[in-house]
Homo-oligomer: A and B are copies of this chain.
Amino acid sequence: MAHDTKDGAATILFNISAVERETGLSKDTLRVWERRYDFPHPVRDDNGDRAYTTGQIAKLRLIKRLLDQGHRPGKIIGLDDEHLERLVTEPAGDQPPRQDIAVYIRLVRSHQALELRRHLSQAMARQGLQKFVVDTVAPLTRAVGEAWMRGEIAVFEEHLYTELMEGLLRNAITALQPQGNAPRVLLTSLPNEPHNLGLLMVEAMLTVENALCIPLGTETPVTEIAQAAQAHRVDMVALSFSSAYPESKAIDALRELRSLLPDSTLLCAGGAGIARIRRRLDGIQLIIELEKMCELVRQWRAEHSSY
């Protein structure tokens, strides 16, 4: 077991805030699960505060993934690790592990930063930027995230990967200079969503499509997004959500933002946190595939061609 904690000595414990951050489950949810399902059942520290183990966090993450897949808390909390593992791996095994991804992962784990960079640069040159983003960056980033969840990749290794990939994408983006009849696209994420890679992927895709991107980085409050959209007179606003982002909060915020934007402004939301949403949301484009964004840009251009 990767996260074995039989070391007897001072096992690291996490307070409820840390668990909220790590799992994306709110403090309220954690407490009410404990009350109802008796899991997680953390020990208490000297102050009577909950103290969670890494094992509990790992199981919570597993449960979160199953919830995202449509399972219900009452049915799966309480199952032991083996059952959960079986559930989670069952519908995942549709993809045979890709050879090139495995190579990259190996480089990440062996700290060969320069080598990794070289390989990825070559892949980018070979595939072209858009194909590189869709076929390499996206699946690789997912694979790194999953390996990290399984404890196969350390935090610092994942950090270095992210940093390296950001540099690579930013570099490629700067080299392009959009012009012409381009829609103006605002790119950002909501507070508590610090992941920038997804946004950079979109920016890369769109810049190739000759759109004019205005990247605000991550964690912009809804009201600020609305102001920025007005100030920059953008045609589209695109938000990114990682899988840890709570679905209900994403929906609330999107509705809020939709009401603050002019009707003529297109509002798009994408990322793993969006992919699982079933419902239709009025006036909001849910982006499942990266290519969809490009399509929207082309569509916009067709509708706004002045010829």
Contact = CB atoms under 8 A, between A and B. Distances in A.
Interface of A: 12, 14-15, 17-18, 21-24, 54, 57, 111, 113, 154-157, 159-160, 162-163, 166-167, 170-171, 173-174, 188, 190-192, 194, 214-217, 220-225, 227-228, 231-232, 249, 252-253, 256, 259-260
Minimum-distance CB pairs A-B, first 8: A156-B228, A159-B216, A156-B224, A163-B217, A155-B224, A22-B221, A163-B215, A111-B231
A45 to B, nearest CB: 14
Contacts of A260: 12
A54 B223 contact: yes
Nearest to A171: B174
A23 B252 CA distance: 16
A21 B190 contact: yes
Contacts of A162: 217
Nearest to A155: B224
Contacts of A113: 214, 232
30 contacts: A14-B256, A18-B252, A18-B256, A21-B192, A21-B249, A22-B221, A22-B223, A54-B223, A113-B232, A154-B224, A154-B227, A154-B228, A155-B220, A155-B221, A155-B224, A156-B216, A156-B220, A156-B224, A156-B227, A156-B231, A157-B228, A159-B224, A162-B217, A166-B170, A166-B217, A167-B170, A167-B173, A167-B174, A171-B174, A194-B194
A224 B24 CA distance: 13
Number of copies: 2
A6 to B, nearest CB: 18
Given A14-B256, A156-B216, 11 more contacts: A15-B252, A18-B222, A21-B221, A21-B253, A156-B224, A159-B188, A163-B215, A163-B217, A167-B173, A167-B174, A170-B170
Nearest to A164: B215
Interface centre among A54, A57, A170, A225 (most CB of B within 10 A): A170
Contacts of A12: 259-260
A23 B159 CA distance: 27
A149 to B, nearest CB: 16
A27 to B, nearest CB: 9
A224 B61 CA distance: 12
A303 to B, nearest CB: 25
